[in-house]
Amino acid sequence: MLAAAVVVVALVIVLGTVDLPDPSFIRDRVASAGPWGIALFVVLYAVLSATPFPASTLTIASGLLFGLAVGATVVVFAATMGAYLGYWGARALGRGQVARTEWDRLRRLDAMLGRRGLLSVLLVRLVPLPFSLVNYAAGVSAVGQRDYVVGTMIGIVPATVAYTALGAYGTSPLSWPFAIALLAVLAIAAGSALLARRLGLTGAAE
């Protein structure tokens, strides 16, 4: 949450003080690269989102590079790929130990995650937990592959659209679309923090 807030504040400051090129010019240059431009961005995003790197910066960049609709679609696809990589990496390294645990509380939690994997993943994707942390935690748990992928893909949509809109309209920081995007980001941040508190995840989120 803190990282996201810092990114938003820094973006507003930069957009208000730096003379940036017209977005249509940037997108034309990116489009000139053809499918390779999108493919390179997807690979970069997927790899970095599987690590602790703050992917929100790349989400904003996608809006600037590809526009709102294409940028948001690219990010949802790339972020889900990255989440899948982190999930399977953690699963290969740590699932066996968790499955064999004799700690009763952890066994009950693991069983619950196996039964309610989709809802569990959907909820944690809506709260301000580090993206990579959720990848790893889900990987070592009993959350199934399908529940994880579907929950991730749906859960990241609200924040993805809001952050992509910041990039898409960021070169016009005084415009209504940018103001709406900024308000959406702040509303999502506040709402997700409230949800985290209701779920008892405030310590992990911070």
Q: What is the DSSP string of 96-146?
A: HHHHT---HHHHHHHHHHHHSHHHHHHHHHHTT--HHHHHHHHHHSS--HH
- Is 145 within the bounds of a domain? yes
- Is 205 within the bounds of a domain? no
pLDDT digits (tens, 9 = 90+) for 85-108: 999 999 999 888 887 877 788 888
- Is 206 within the bounds of a domain? no
Read off the amino acid at residue 165.
A
Mean of per-residue pLDDT scores for the chain: 80
pTM: 0.77
What is the pLDDT at residue 193?
66
Which single residue is written with the structure tokens 């405030």?
Answer: 202
Mean pLDDT, range 137-144, rounded to an integer: 89
Query: Has residue 46 got a pLDDT over 60?
Result: yes
pLDDT band at 51, cuts 50/70/90? confident
Q: Please give the tally of structural domains in the chain.
A: 1
Distance CA 178, CA 69 (A): 15
- Is 163 within the bounds of a domain? yes
Mean pLDDT, range 47-55, rounded to an integer: 85
Domain residues for the domain of 18 are 2-199
